[in-house]
């Protein structure tokens, strides 16, 4: 049984951008780093936890701030990191997937405008079982990690 989209929208309105829940999934800290003025590529990071009893699959992403959005990851081939489009990402029951710099991310191609710190935009993640989940993405400047 598919969740009622109106109930999902109401839940996101009540929860705000900090966390979203649908179909046993909870999605937390959805953010994107700012981009330079002429950048054509951006990235979105987040954490997805599956509190349900069944595996779910992240199968697509979309947004109005870029021509395309895709689920991407980095794999190492002969000691060289390669970015690749992922057809789906499995989130096991009781499992958690962290989308973070250098790993899984939502790749935004052909940005329509720069991503500016302090602003926000919408992204929709589509799951096989939980369906389409709209999220608010906060553009956050991050300090580089110290060695």
Q: Is 88 inside any structural domain?
A: yes
pLDDT at 77: 63
Residue range(s) defining the domain that contains residue 54: 5-138
Q: Is 143 inside any structural domain?
A: no
At 107, is the secondary structure helix, strand, or coil? strand
pLDDT at 145: 52
Tens digits of pLDDT across the chain (147 residues): 455 544 444 444 434 444 666 678 999 999 999 999 999 999 999 999 999 999 999 999 999 999 999 999 876 567 776 666 676 789 999 999 999 998 899 999 999 999 999 999 999 999 999 999 999 999 998 765 545
Q: Is 146 inside any structural domain?
A: no
pLDDT at 10: 41
Q: Angle at the Cα of 33 (from 135 to 40), degrees rounded to 5? A: 95
| CATH number reported for the structural domain that contains residue 89 in this entry | 2.60.40.1890
pLDDT at 131: 93
Q: Is 147 inside any structural domain?
A: no
Q: Is 144 inside any structural domain?
A: no
Give the pTM: 0.79
pLDDT at 85: 66
Cα gap 92→146, rounded to integer Å: 33
pLDDT at 75: 64
Structural domains of the chain, count: 1
Q: Is 93 inside any structural domain?
A: yes
Phi-psi region of 11 (alpha: psi -120 to 50; beta: other; left: phi over 0): alpha
Q: Is 145 inside any structural domain?
A: no
Q: Is 127 inside any structural domain?
A: yes
Nearest in space to 47 (alpha carbons), one of 18, 27, 61: 27
């Amino acid at each position: 049984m598919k969740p009622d989209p109106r109930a999902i929208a109401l839940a996101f309105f009540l929860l705000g951008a900090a966390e979203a829940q649908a179909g046993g999934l909870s999605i937390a800290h959805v953010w994107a780093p700012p981009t330079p003025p002429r950048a054509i590529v951006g990235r979105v990071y987040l954490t997805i936890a599956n509190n349900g009893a069944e595996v779910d699959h992240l199968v697509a992403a979309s947004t109005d701030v870029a021509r395309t959005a895709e689920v991407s990851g980095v794999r190492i081939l002969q000691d060289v990191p390669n970015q690749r489009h992922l057809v789906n990402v499995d989130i096991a029951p009781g499992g958690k997937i962290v989308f973070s710099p250098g790993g899984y991310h939502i790749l935004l191609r052909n940005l329509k405008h720069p991503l500016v710190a302090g602003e926000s935009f919408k992204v929709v993640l589509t799951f096989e079982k939980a369906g389409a989940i709209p999220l608010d993405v906060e553009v956050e400047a991050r300090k580089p990690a110290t060695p």
